[in-house]
Amino acid sequence: MPFVGKCLCEQTVVSLDSAHEDQVLCHCTDCRRTSGSAFTTNVLAPSDLVKITGPVKEFATKGDSGNMVTRVFCGNCGCAISHKSAVFGNAQAIQTGIFPVFAKIPVGAEIYVKDRWTGLAPVPGAAQFEKTPPS
C-alpha cells in the first residue's frame, strides 16, 4: 500500500510505493534552510517508486559531497517535497513531513549531527553520523 502525502496547498501530491520501517533526520545547513527548522525528516526511496504530481519547481546547489543536490518543492506553496543527488544513486530523499503516517514511524538515524542545534538531544536508539553514513 503506497504512502500518499500532500503539500500545504494540497496541489502537489506524492505517492511513495516503497516500504519504510524508519526515517532519517538531517541536521545539515541546507536541510535546515529548506525546512525552516532545525532538521528535516526523510526516507530514501527508489525514484521509480515515487510519483509526484502537481506544480513543482527545482533548485540545485552544490552539496557537501561536491555533487549537485536538486531540491524539489511545490511550485505554488513552496513546501519541500524531495531532494536528489548522485550520492543517492537511483533513489531520492523524500521529505516525510508531508505524510501524516510518518509521525508514527521511528527515527533510525540522524545525519550531519555535527550541525545539530545546541539543546537538541540525540534521538534515543537512532544511529548517529557526523556527516553522511558510509556507503
* pLDDT digits (tens), the chain, 135 positions: 589 999 999 999 999 999 999 999 999 999 999 999 999 999 999 999 999 999 999 999 998 888 999 999 999 999 999 999 998 999 999 999 999 999 999 999 999 999 999 999 999 999 999 998 876
Query: 76 in helix, strand or coil?
Result: coil
CATH fold of 3-116, please? 2.170.150
pLDDT at site 133: 80
Instruction: Please state, in angstroms and rounded to a whole number, the distance separating the CA atoms of residues 107 and 74.
Output: 25
Tell me the three cell numbers of residue 25.
533526520
| Residue 48: φ, ψ to 5° | -75, -5
| Residue 25: φ, ψ to 5° | -95, 135
Q: Model pTM?
A: 0.92
Half-sphere exposure of 9 (CA within 13 A, CB side): 13
Tell me the three cell numbers of residue 122.
540525540
pLDDT at site 1: 56
Distance, CA of 123 to chain centre? 17
Instruction: Please state, in angstroms and rounded to a whole number, the distance separating the CA atoms of residues 61 and 106.
Output: 29
